[in-house]
Structure 1
Amino acid sequence: MDFEIALNNLGDKIKNTQDKILTEEATKTSYILPFLNVLGYDVFDPTVVVPEFTADIGRKKNEKVDYAIMVKDKPLILIEAKTHTETLDRHKTQLERYFTVTESKFAVLTNGIEYRFYSDLEKPNVMDKGPFLTIDLLNLKDRDFKELEKFKSENFNVENILSMAGRKKYVNGVKSILREEMKEPSEDFIRIFASKLINKHLRQQVIEEFRGYVKQAMNETITDLVNDKINALKDKLNNENNIENENIEEQIEETKDNGIVTTDEELEGYFIVKSIFAEKIDLNRIAQRDTKSYFGILLDDNNRKWLVRLHFNYSNKYLEIRTGDKESEKYLLDSLNDIYKYKDGIINTLNVVGEGLN
């Protein structure tokens, strides 16, 4: 299964089940162990993922951390787990103690939704005060997938991860400083700009005057960058839709001689279904073929991988969703918007044809 799809699916599962997961054990079973499984660790092999790993601390014996991930028989990743409803800020001290008395190089504090990754970049065998990487499964970013790839069992390399951790530490530090400067620019920060723009002594009155200029300039710059990104995305989507429409028009012309007429409603239904698949798969893989009996929506333009069929050639309109190798379910549609009601079933067709999204 594709790594990104698996993580996104886990995030969706969390969104849909948060109100049903009420204990720490349930959080571990439903969220944390599946996360480790996505990273490629066999959670059923006690030589790989060790639950209740013993980490004796001084005179305290049999102190246990929730999980240790073993790499070449060494506990290189310690994981302290909390209930998904808990914030993590007040639970770091316990993990710090475990980290110091083991051979681990990485420590993870998690509530099943947020994962904070720590190492000992500042002082050997002493866990850093701040995480070098924070992952929120309910708000995954493109860069998160790239960083987590390094923690997959097949990719695990201590030096590579420490190199990434060192970079992330300073990048996160710069981002933190920038956030603070954006909220309230410091005098040193203001002087950087004022000294480049005026040729007079920077008295306090000038500094205060430039404080407003700097805040406004930063706000406008951020707004412009965001707008540029949105406009670029709109242009890309418009271009893709234009190409898609041109291809469909060509196919309609080709099928006219066969007595097949592709209607506007079928095309609208196709685009609705395609927008649903957009969450899970590259849209270039979703294709359509119209027939006299139905409008078919396929994976990889392969008839054996049909996903959804639109039966719009009758007075009543039906949506047919594939549920098995030779099984399907039909649903009566009062309007095309009713297609959205069957979003989960539509997405699950990818599992049916072997994409393995679960």
Structure 2
Amino acid sequence: MDFKDQIQQLSERISKQKDMITTEEATKNAFIMPMITVLGYDVFDPFEVVPEMDCDLTKRGDRIDYAIMKNEQPILIIECKHCKQNLDVHNTQLAKYFAASNARFGVLTNGIEYRFYTDLEKQNIMDEKPFLVIDATDLSDNDIEQLKKFHKSYYNETEILSTANELKYTTEIKGILSNEFASPSPEFVKFITKQIYDGAIWQSVIEQFTPLVKKSISSIINDIISERLNNAIKNEEQQITPSSMEIVASDDTNSDDTLPDGVVFIDKEKGIITTQEEIDAYNIIRSIVRKQISADLIVYKDFKSYFAIGVSNPSCWWGCRLSFGNRSKCLYIPTDDYKSQERIEINTLDDIFKYADKLEECFAEAYKYYKKYQNKHLK
């Protein structure tokens, strides 16, 4: 299992268990120690992980919860809190430990939110703001890539520091822009209005332009999404497998080769192998969702790392994805408006029927986006 699979599996476990955790110690055992393990460190090896490391500058017996070690020196210290605690009031405690430890990176966490700090502004003095904030229950691909940099096998202090400064400020900029886009401030509206309005900009003018600015921002975002979606469709439409092709191998495609048992198609150039098991799963899912969506719209497309099933174009409007390995079978369904996905392990293809309701909901959502695109672009 690769790092991404491990971290996503932990993310799902945290989401399921967080309401059952009642103490800080339980938070450490259930969430934080497994996270350290996923990062490649042995929590029971004192040469790699030191619990309760002395960080005493004031003779008060101060200790950090965990210190990740390399060459007998701390490279990452971790201060832990209960999973229901707000971290905003605890960063000063970590700052004190940071100065005493000489580590370059510090983490303040409640097992769900992880705030990563370093000393960009003044050496050995922890920055006031984190350069990276990650929600373990809502991981983006970028979050996973940033976490991977702290993995034992990939850790490179210089590389992390080189991106920390950029991450710190881009995170703040994104936060400011997100707030402005959601609710434009008078200053922001005034800045925009000055570019197009020749008269004096009184409060009444700002009030007049505020809804126009907000509407324009929404329109731009929608246009960008539609353009990318349209380009994706153009690039993919020649590759989409028709739903009627339940077995996609042909005599011409593999004329010189005999397909292995259970394999119905091989694209050697792209490294794609389509199995009969995937086709069978597709037919099961199509039988479930065809009650609400025309069967000819439910199509599949095989990729190197997963098998996508969706409405008209599985690259854009996917309802689920399959990942069938020798040891495990996984069904992935989109969540949080396609910002993340839920991983469901199944033992047999019959288990798919257990998730019929979820599949119907996901495909209904995919169909909604498909119709929205059609109404806007194909009239």
Normalised by the size of structure 2, how large is the TM-score? 0.65
Map 1:40-189 onto structure 2 (within 5 A).
40-60=40-60, 62-189=61-188
**Contact residue 107 and residue 119 of structure 1 kept, 8 A:** yes
Alignment match, 1:8 = 8
RMSD: 4.1
**Contact residue 68 and residue 74 of structure 2 kept, 8 A:** yes
Change (3 A) 1:83 1:197: same
Alignment match, 1:283 = 306
**Contact residue 305 and residue 323 of structure 2 kept, 8 A:** no
- Aligned-pair CA distance for 1:284: 4.3
Alignment match, 1:337 = 353
AA paired with 1:64?
R
Equivalent residue in structure 2 for 1:269, among 281, 284, 304:
284
- Aligned-pair CA distance for 1:45: 0.8
Change (3 A) 1:83 1:227: farther
AA paired with 1:96?
A
Change (3 A) 1:305 1:127: closer
Alignment match, 2:25 = 25
- Aligned-pair CA distance for 1:96: 1.3
AA paired with 1:210?
F
- Aligned residue for 1:16, secondary structure, equals helix
Taking the aligned partners of 1:134 and 1:41, their CA distance within structure 2 comes to: 21
Taking the aligned partners of 1:105 and 1:306, their CA distance within structure 2 comes to: 39
**Contact residue 190 and residue 201 of structure 2 kept, 8 A:** no
**Contact residue 298 and residue 305 of structure 1 kept, 8 A:** no
Change (3 A) 1:48 1:118: same
- Aligned-pair CA distance for 1:116: 0.6
Change (3 A) 1:265 1:49: closer
AA paired with 2:37?
N
- Aligned residue for 2:195, secondary structure, equals helix
Alignment match, 1:245 = 243
- Aligned-pair CA distance for 1:222: 3.2
The runs of 5 or more residues in structure 1 that have no matched partner are 255-261, 287-296, 309-320, 324-328, 344-358
Alignment match, 2:314 = none
AA paired with 1:2?
D
- Aligned residue for 1:57, secondary structure, equals coil
Between structures 1 and 2, the one with greater helix share: 1
Change (3 A) 1:70 1:222: same
Taking the aligned partners of 2:23 and 2:306, their CA distance within structure 1 comes to: 39
Alignment match, 2:262 = none
Change (3 A) 1:141 1:307: closer
Q: CA offsets, 1:228-277, max 9 Å, x none?
A: 5677778899877x4163542445999xxxxxxx9x9875216689x9xx
**Contact residue 37 and residue 43 of structure 1 kept, 8 A:** yes
Taking the aligned partners of 1:89 and 1:298, their CA distance within structure 2 comes to: 39
- Aligned-pair CA distance for 1:54: 0.6
- Aligned-pair CA distance for 1:20: 3.1
Of 50-59 and 172-181, deviating more is: 172-181
Taking the aligned partners of 2:172 and 2:281, their CA distance within structure 1 comes to: 52
Taking the aligned partners of 2:327 and 2:172, their CA distance within structure 1 comes to: 48
Paired-residue identity, %: 34
Of 176-185 and 230-239, deviating more is: 230-239
AA paired with 1:283?
Y
- Aligned-pair CA distance for 1:81: 0.7
Change (3 A) 1:21 1:72: same
- Aligned-pair CA distance for 1:207: 4.0
- Aligned residue for 2:103, secondary structure, equals coil
AA paired with 1:140?
L
Alignment match, 1:215 = 214
**Contact residue 285 and residue 299 of structure 1 kept, 8 A:** no
**Contact residue 49 and residue 69 of structure 1 kept, 8 A:** yes
Matched positions, count: 294
Taking the aligned partners of 1:307 and 1:105, their CA distance within structure 2 comes to: 40
- Aligned-pair CA distance for 1:330: 9.9
Taking the aligned partners of 2:196 and 2:323, their CA distance within structure 1 comes to: 60
- Aligned-pair CA distance for 1:184: 4.4
Q: CA offsets, 1:75-132, max 9 Å, x none?
A: 1211011121222112212111111222011110111111110111122222112111
**Contact residue 79 and residue 108 of structure 1 kept, 8 A:** yes
Taking the aligned partners of 1:92 and 1:168, their CA distance within structure 2 comes to: 19
AA paired with 2:284?
G
- Aligned residue for 2:241, secondary structure, equals helix
**Contact residue 299 and residue 306 of structure 1 kept, 8 A:** yes
Alignment match, 2:366 = none
Larger radius of gyration: 1
AA paired with 1:269?
I
- Aligned-pair CA distance for 1:164: 1.2
Equivalent residue in structure 1 for 2:201, among 203, 206, 213:
203
AA paired with 1:22?
T
